[in-house]
Amino acid sequence: MTETPIITLKNIHKKFGSLEVLKGIDLHANMGEVVVLIGSSGSGKSTLLRCANLLEICQQGDITFNGDLVQWKNGKSERKPANPKQIIKLRSKLSMVFQQFNLWSHLSILENVTEAPISVLGKDKTEAETLGRELLEKVGIGDKCDAYPAQLSGGQQQRAAIARALAMEPVAMLFDEPTSALDPELEAEVVKVIKALAIEGRTMIIVTHDMKLARDVADHVIFLHQGLIEEEGAPDEVFGNPKSERLRQFLSATMAQYKV
């Protein structure tokens, strides 16, 4: 693992109206590092992830991806990205996997995986389909290429969404509660895939409620509380020797719930 950050967030602030959700967050993920964000609902985890991918625009702070600092301009109500091409480039190499899968219902699973590589990256259809079949095989649903999302279980749909993200050949991946919409049996299918990606050395930032997943795959754990980093460190430190009372309370409740 190198010490060159792939993703750097510095002093990130985000408000929704008068509600201040993020109050100055610093985060970085090095090449091959898995950073896991934990915290109670409303702590700002998913908002921070969406700010990293510019699905939400932070009102203050710097975002650097793969050495490229995002440029801003001031709008009437809040700042906006100054260079649309820069944002397209960032999103094409920073793939995001959502809680609710977000597959296109009118496309087959293979078409879901190949659409962006063809239309965004300009890949040849045959090349994209070959890669798509390989990736669907990799996540364990190679036999579902011709099926449609409604014909798949939730776990299969989420694995298809992961294959779609991988098809963009991303430098890094963002996961926003990838298992929270699934029942425990289907959740295990997706966790297995995420663990395999971590073993491969994928650079990932993961928001999760699953403390066992966090402990198993993370190189660095960040506990958010009320829009600030309450505590962070290696998994053994955060889970084995929490320093803040709030983190101890959180772990006591969640680890009992998930029987970690």
How many other CB atoms sit within 10 Å of the CB of residue 143? 10
Q: What is the CATH number of the domain that holds 199?
A: 3.40.50.300
d(CA 103, CA 178): 13
Query: Which helix H or strand E contains 153, and what residues bound it?
Result: none
pLDDT in tens, 115-132: 999 998 899 999 999 999
CB 154 within 8 A of CB 182: yes
pLDDT in tens, 36-61: 999 999 899 999 999 999 999 999 99
Range of the domain at 150: 5-257
Q: What is the residue whose two structure tokens read 């970690």?
A: 260
| Least trusted range by pLDDT, from 93-107, 154-168, 246-260 | 246-260
Supply the pTM of this predicted model. Answer: 0.93
> Looking at residue 51, what DSSP letter applies?
H
pLDDT in tens, 85-95: 999 989 889 99
Give CA separation, 5 vs 27, 49, 173, 258, in Å: 10, 16, 14, 32
Query: What count of Cα atoms within 13 Å lies in the side-chain half-sphere of residue 238?
Result: 28
CB 260 within 8 A of CB 215: yes
Counted residue by residue, the chain has a size of 260
The end-to-end CA distance of the chain, in Å, is: 28
Count: domains in the chain: 1
d(CA 98, CA 162): 9
